[in-house]
Structure 1
Amino acid sequence: MTRPTDRGTNGPDGPLASPASVPTARQGARPPRLPGLLAALCDRLPADRITVLEEVLEKVTGPEDLLLRRFIGAQSAAGLAHQLTEISRTWRSEAPGMTGAGLALALATVRSVPRAGPAQVVVTGPMGTSIPARMTSGVVEEVIRSADTSLLIASFAAHGARHVVTEIGRAVDRGVHVDLLLEESTQASAAFATLPDDVHVWHRVGTSGVLHAKLIVADRHTALLGSANLTDRALSDNIEVGVVLRDPHLVEPLVDHFRWLLSPENNVMRLA
Structure 2
Amino acid sequence: MNHEILVDTIAGIAADLPPAHISAWAAVLMSVDKPSAAVEAALINARPGFSTSTHARSLVQAWDATAHKLPGTAIAVALRSAALIQEQAASRRTDLVISGPISPSVSVRLTSSVVIEVIRAARNSLLIVSFAAYGVAEVIAELGAAAARGVRVDLVLEGSVGNGGTLRGPAGASAAFSQLTDSATFWHWPAHRRAAAAKSRSALHAKIIAADTAIALISSANLTDQALSTNLEVGVVIKDPMVTQRLVRHFEALMGEGAGVLERTSPGR
Q: Same fold (TM over 0.5)?
A: yes
Q: Secondary structure at the match of 1:28?
A: helix
Q: TM-score, normalised by structure 2?
A: 0.64
2:258 match: 265
Question: Are residues 95 and 232 of structure 1, via their aligned partners in 2, closer, same or farther at CA, if it must alter by over 3 Å?
Answer: farther
After superposition, where does 1:112-131 map in structure 2 within 5 Å?
A: 116-131=91-106
Task: Answer 1 or 2: higher relative contact order, Cα 8 Å, separation at least 6.
Answer: 2
Judged with a 3 Å threshold, the aligned counterparts in structure 2 of structure 1 residues 26 and 182 are, in CA distance, closer, same or farther, namely: closer
Which residues of structure 1 form unaligned runs of 5+?
1-23, 40-60, 64-87, 97-105
Structure 2 CA distance for aligned equivalents of residues 193 and 37 of structure 1: 48
The alpha-carbon deviation at position 182 of structure 1 amounts to 0.4
Q: How far apart, in 1, do the equivalents of 2:17 and 2:115 lie?
A: 24
Deviations 1:161-214 (A, max 9, x none): 111111111100100000000001132111111125130011111154121000
Q: Which residue of 2 aligns with 1:132?
A: 107
Query: Which residue type is aligned with residue 31 of structure 1?
Result: T
Deviation, 1:28, is 2.9
Q: 43, 68, 93: which is aligned to 2:54? A: 93
Residue aligning to 1:31: 9
The alignment partner of 1:237 has SS state of coil
- Residue deviations 1:83-109, cap 9 Å, x none? xxxxx4x4452149xxxxxxxxx9xx8
**Residue identity matched to 2:209:** I
Deviates more, 1:258-267 or 1:218-227: 258-267
Of 183-192 and 253-262, more deviation after overlay is shown by 183-192
Aligned CA distance change for structure 1 residues 214 and 25 (closer, same or farther; 3 Å): same
Match of 2:93, SS state, is strand
Aligned mates of 1:119, 1:256 — CA distance in 2? 20
Distance in 1 separating the partners of 2:96 and 2:84? 21
In structure 2, the residue matched to 1:190 is: 175
Work out whether residues 34 and 91 of structure 1, in 8 Å CA contact, stay in contact via their aligned partners in 2. Answer: no
Q: 1:225 matched to which residue of 2?
A: 218
RMSD: 2.6
CA distance in 2: counterparts of 1:252 and 1:271, whole angstroms: 22
Please report the TM-score for the alignment, with normalisation by the length of structure 1: 0.64
Could you say which residue in structure 1 is the equivalent of 2:246?
A: 253
* Identity score, percent: 41
CA distances 1:105-133 after superposition (whole Å, capped 9, x unpaired): x9xx869x666511111011111223121
Q: 1:193 to 1:35 in 2, by over 3 A?
A: same
Deviates more, 1:147-156 or 1:125-134: 125-134
Whichever residue aligns with residue 237 of structure 1, its letter is T
Amino acid paired to 1:238 = N
Where in structure 2 are the equivalents of 1:139-178 lying within 5 Å? 139-178=114-153
Identify the residue that residue 75 of structure 1 maps to in structure 2. Answer: none
Q: 1:35 to 1:203 in 2, by over 3 A?
A: same
Partners of 1:227 and 1:92 lie apart in 2 by 45
Match of 1:10 in 2: none
